[in-house]
Amino acid sequence: MRDKIVAGNWKMNNDLAETEELLGKLKLQMVKDPEATVMVAPSFTNLYPTFQALKGTPVIVAAQNMHENDKGAYTGEVSAAMLKSVGVTTVILGHSERRAYFNENGEILAKKVNAAIDNEMTVIFCFGEELEDRKSGKHFDLVETQLREALFNLPQSAWKNIILAYEPVWAIGTGETASPEQAQEMHKHIRNLLEKNVGKEVASNTSILYGGSVKPNNAKEIFAKEDVDGGLIGGASLNAVDFVQIVNSF
């Protein structure tokens, strides 16, 4: 059985005071035992206060990125060990904004994923096509390449720590979502790829999240699709009422 998961990616939003305010509201809104596993990913500076504030709740704190090396002369970077030392054992890798603005490609992401797995962390691995790829009918192949480059060399045992997040770039922060049918079509394709390249068990046990303008008014329809196991939420996760409504959309 795979988990239903809703993860909020707060991106580069909220200073400490704003984070504390959002966390306060989130704790008020959140039902005690949500059906889905809930995660939030604040900026690096807010990871520890968020971890502290959410202690005793079921909400998991995730980082938005990490470096592939354990330590050393990598000015400005943060390692898996550093994340773990502040209670963070989940990390988002491969977000399209990291790929677009920070030149993260398949090769770098494979190293980051390996480092996370070596450190026994859980990875939310993001991937997805640009509008051009979809228009030219290359989206299925592109997604296959993104998965192959970073994940298909992993040992079977690593897959219990991998969550996939399909995020078509054209739907991120644009207000435009993939239709539930488009999401299902791609998620089915992804699950078939997992079955072919990793195995049946991994294919049926891996959670595949959809991301891209998920809002309270469309979450239910998207999450109802057979191969959609939840969502990675950007904009709407900054509003506690909206986020909790999305969490409760199964």
- 214 lies in the binding site for ligand PGA (CB under 6 A): yes
Q: Which of 68, 211, 227, 246 binds ligand PGA (CB under 6 A)?
A: 211
59 versus 172: smaller Cβ distance to ligand PGA: 172
Query: Contact 69/63 with Cβ under 8 angstroms?
Result: no
Rounded to whole angstroms, what are the CA distances from 186 to 38, 103, 140? 23, 25, 7
59 versus 128: smaller Cβ distance to ligand PGA: 128
Token couple for 119: 């450190």
Minimum separation from the CB atom of position 90 to ligand PGA (A): 14
Minimum separation from the CB atom of position 118 to ligand PGA (A): 25
Minimum separation from the CB atom of position 187 to ligand PGA (A): 16
Query: Is position 249 annotated in a ligand binding site?
Result: no
Give the contacts of 22 (CB within 8 A, at least 6 positions apart). Answer: 10, 14, 238, 240
Query: Is position 234 annotated in a ligand binding site?
Result: yes
* Cα–Cα distance for residue pair 141/94, rounded to 1 Å: 17
75 versus 101: smaller Cβ distance to ligand PGA: 101
- 234 lies in the binding site for ligand PGA (CB under 6 A): yes
The amino acid at residue 158 is: A
Query: Contact 165/140 with Cβ under 8 angstroms?
Result: no
Minimum separation from the CB atom of position 112 to ligand PGA (A): 17
Query: Is position 10 annotated in a ligand binding site?
Result: yes
Query: Contact 140/160 with Cβ under 8 angstroms?
Result: no
Binding positions for ligand PGA, 120-179, rule CB under 6 A: 167, 172-173
- The number of helices, as runs of H, and strands, as runs of E, in the chain is 11, 8
3 versus 118: smaller Cβ distance to ligand PGA: 3
Query: Is position 94 annotated in a ligand binding site?
Result: no
Q: Which residues are catalytic?
A: 95, 167
Binding positions for ligand PGA, 26-65, rule CB under 6 A: none
Give the contacts of 183 (CB within 8 A, at least 6 positions apart). Answer: 166, 177, 210, 222, 225, 228
Binding site for substrate: what residues are annotated? Answer: 9-11, 173, 213, 234-235
Which stretches of the chain bind ligand PGA, using CB under 6 A? Answer: 9, 167, 172-173, 211-214, 232-236
